[in-house]
Amino acid sequence: MTGPFLYTSPQSPASATGVVADVYAQVSADFGVKDAPTFVALSASPSLLTSTWALMRDSLLAGRASRTGKELVAAGVSLANRCPFCVTAHAVLLHATGDHRLAEGVLRGEEPEAPGDRALLAWGRDMRGPWPFPADEAPEYVGTTLAFHFINRIVSSLLSERMLPGGAERYRLVRRTAGRSLAGTVRREVRPGASLPLLRTDGEAPAWMDDGPVGTAYGALLTAARAGEELLSEEDAASVRASVAGWDGVTPLPLRAELPSRARRP
């Protein structure tokens, strides 16, 4: 499958069946984006696909907390992780909430004027300091940050930086128009927990998370992500850990279109 995908060639969503097709249908209905590349990139691993979607859906899309506030937190995470695809996507979604000036300001790297908005964006960047949101909304806000720390890494590893064909997202009119097309979906109420039956893994929710759908989804994603370690030999796992530990978080890793064999590994 062609498109924005790097290092992988996922099957066309049109050929999806089973739980993968079910996730695509929910993404289209609840997120408003048909064949969202972030989730298509995960389609080869139903356990990762279902848990990533469930965590994002039940933290960012569902619940009672402000969607604008959660988009600001997600934008802060994406800025910290230097994920231009994701920063632009959250700017478009802020346009969808009707906060056009805020959307463009975040994209330009400006601090929001409203103290509450400024605090949420800053907290998303580093998650330090007191929560700038009520305690009963913590699962949604914390779940959003954790979801996008994972999603940012998937996007940065497996997708190009262009969100739209030809890089059309660099034009403000395009961003605003894209946001307007999503406005109805963003304002629609999303029923919490509807994605949980799709999960293919389970796991214990962390102690700081309640036993609601966000905690369930996070536990499932943690289990699914950790399962990947079992695919590596101890030697390869040690190499990955050493590479990540020595990375400065800024310099691009030397990824190649064709990964080196063990014999040619640095």
Alpha carbons 216 and 213: distance in angstroms, whole number: 5
Q: What six digits make up the tokens of 121?
A: 């964006």
Contact at 8 Å (CB) between 73 and 147? no
Catalytic residue among 40, 60, 86, 155: 86
The verdict on whether 83 is a catalytic residue reads: no
For residue 236, the one-letter residue type is D
Contact 64, 218 (CB under 8 A): no
From residue 249, alpha-carbon distances to 7, 28, 98, 111, 246 in Å are: 20, 33, 34, 23, 9
Tell me if 30 sits within 8 A of 57, measured CB to CB.
yes
Q: 31: which DSSP letter?
A: I
Question: Residue 5: what are its φ and ψ, rounded to 5°?
Answer: -85, 140
Residue 5 bridge partners (DSSP): 159
Q: Give how far Cα 125 sits from Cα of 74, 146, 187, Å.
A: 9, 12, 25
And the tokens for 160?
């190009």
Rg (CA), the chain: 18
As annotated, the active-site residues are: 86
